[in-house]
Amino acid sequence: MDLNNIKRVYFIGIGGIGMSAIARFFNEKGVHVSGYDRTETALTRQLAEEGMQIHYTDDVQLLDQEAELVVYTPAIPGSHSELIWFRQQGYEVVKRSDVLQEITRNLYAITVGGTHGKTTTSTLIAHILRHTGYGCNAFLGGISANYDRNFWSSNKQVAVIEADEYDRSFLKLHPDVAVLTAIDADHLDIYGTEEEVQEAFIQYTRNIKANGTLVAKRGLHRADELKGDHHIWYHLDDNKADIHATNIQPTEGGYMFDVVQKDWKLANIYLPVGGTHNIENTVAAIAVAHLLGIEDEKIKAAIADFKGIKRRFEYLVKNDYQVYIDDYAHHPEELRALISSARALFPDRKCIVLFQPHLYTRTRDFADGFAESLSLADEVLLLPIYPARELPIEGVHSEMIAKKISKPVQVIQKEDVLAWVKANSAPLFITAGAGDIDQFREPVQEILNGKGIIDNEEVKKDA
């Protein structure tokens, strides 16, 4: 696959977060980019505004017959008629991971893998490299709030890549620096067992290039089996790690802290993003930046300017009367980190979580874990399961989680959500999930901002 001479590329599933980054890569190089996706979204509208041709009907009459390369996401079913047509006609049809492997073959690759934390960590690293002038090409799994993009290019022959474990696609990458944030059971519909998940991440570290570095969280399962000629172990606050945070102080919805490494210290770091897990992600990013020789003060300035990632502990409303946080959390550990961090930052506010379970298999496999994490809230609203690529499984539904939650809980339909928000007080409101729960972001934000204005006026009248 020679990417240098390709003039036309067609994407099946172009609106996916990983697919769209690669589509933007080609588009910026002047390649004709077109594709299909199931539904129009804010991201696909952005791609269209950037000049890409996109349609939303699986129809072979609409595809690009002149395409020299066809890229598809593994989330697309094998029965997709456009995918079948291209294969039957003998086109070069590859997964996005194959393209990413080829793009990064000759670059200094910094990859970030893990069952959670990888989007924030990879975006932080890429932001630091961009902000400080070091430079990098970034292929991210989320939309950077600083740049409103999940991809950017640079003349610097360095790439920061979010390494997605779904479908084992991250095993095609061969990093110079590999970050590993977590090895928790997930995607059991793909891997089958937790042991197979762990094996895949061990293989991820085996792919590190000679004289390369593994930057891994201290305390991971089977840590003694992880590879890499050089190791840096990081942690939130474990002083036995090679690098960790200390003197952590919440401030204005973010944190001040120091980072300590042997014979080196970076003091008075300000992270304007909530969530103690994001401090740990920042420690990993700082470890990489320091490894690359970036100056201390430039690192601090970049972190202070970090605005986060859309749908990663994202403040949509934050004032004296109301806090509304939206997050992509769809695994029990991610929910635990999200809810516990929000409660620590706003301890006096009643916390209500609206959660949309993602996938029938994940709900079935982790119902107990979801219930335990959601019970950290004061009240829980559960939407029906978002099926994504799956067909329903008999007996698997949101009630599986609801009956195990120890706090007030109700299963609510999508059409009833906005009426509930209008009728109820939620001083700390969180929406979480990886499905289409993001459709509620703007309308909920508008409702809660309106409530804040009303509350403010009532306070003034009472005064």
User: pLDDT tens digits, residue range 313-368?
Assistant: 899 998 888 999 999 899 898 899 899 989 988 998 999 999 999 999 999 999 99
Q: Is 297 exposed, middle or buried, given 0-12, 13-18 or 19+ CB atoms closer than 10 A?
A: exposed
What are residue 368's phi and psi, to 5 degrees?
-65, -45
CA–CA gap between residue 151 and residue 140 (Å, rounded):
6
Pairing type for strands 93-95 and 69-72 reads parallel
Q: For 129-179, how does the pLDDT look when each residue is reduced to its tens digit (9 = 90+)?
A: 999 999 999 999 889 999 999 999 999 999 999 998 777 888 989 999 999
**Position 461 pLDDT exceeds 60:** no
With CA atoms as reference, report the closest residue to 24 among 182, 144, 197.
144
Order the strands of the 323-327 sheet from edge to edge.
314-318, 323-327, 428-432, 351-355, 379-382, 409-411
CB 403 within 8 A of CB 368: no
What distance separates the 2 farthest-apart alpha carbons in the chain? 75
Q: How far apart are CA 238 and CA 374, in angstroms?
A: 26
Mapping DSSP onto H, E and C, the string for 51-111 reads CCEEECCCCCCCCCCCCCEEEECCCCCCCCHHHHHHHHCCCCEEEHHHHHHHHCCCCEEEE
Ligand-binding annotation for 246, yes or no, is no
- Distance of alpha carbon 326 from alpha carbon 421, whole angstroms: 14
Give the pLDDT score at 185.
63
What count of Cα atoms within 13 Å lies in the side-chain half-sphere of residue 83?
17
The candidate with the shortest Cα–Cα distance to 186, out of 402, 17, 434, is: 434
Is residue 290 part of an annotated ligand binding site? no
Torsion 300-302-307-310 (CA) sign:
negative
* Beta carbons of 324 and 274 less than 8 angstroms apart: no
pTM of the entire structure?
A: 0.82
Q: Compute the distance between CA of residue 374 and CA of residue 362 in angstroms, rounded to an integer.
A: 15
Determine whether the annotation assigns residue 118 to a binding site. yes
If we measure between CA atoms, which residue out of 43, 115, 130 comes closest to residue 311? Answer: 43
Q: Is 116 annotated as a binding residue?
A: yes
Determine if residue 300 is labeled as part of a ligand binding site. Answer: no
pLDDT tens readout for residues 391-416: 899 999 999 999 999 999 999 999 99
Cα–Cα distance, 117 to 271 (Å, whole number): 16
Q: What percent of the chain has pLDDT over 70?
A: 96
Count CB neighbours of 380 within 10 A: 27
Give tens-digit pLDDT for 210-229.
999 999 999 998 899 999 99
pLDDT tens for each residue of 415-445? 999 999 999 988 999 999 988 899 899 999 9
The alpha-helical segments, DSSP class H, found in 153-209 are 188-191, 194-206
Residue 44 annotated in ligand binding = no
**Residue in the structure block whose two tokens are 């909920």:** 444
Q: What is the pLDDT confidence band of residue 189, given thresholds at 50, 70 and 90? A: low
Q: What average pLDDT does the structure give for the chain?
A: 91
What does the block give as tokens for 101? 């492997």
Judge whether 114 is annotated as a binding position.
yes
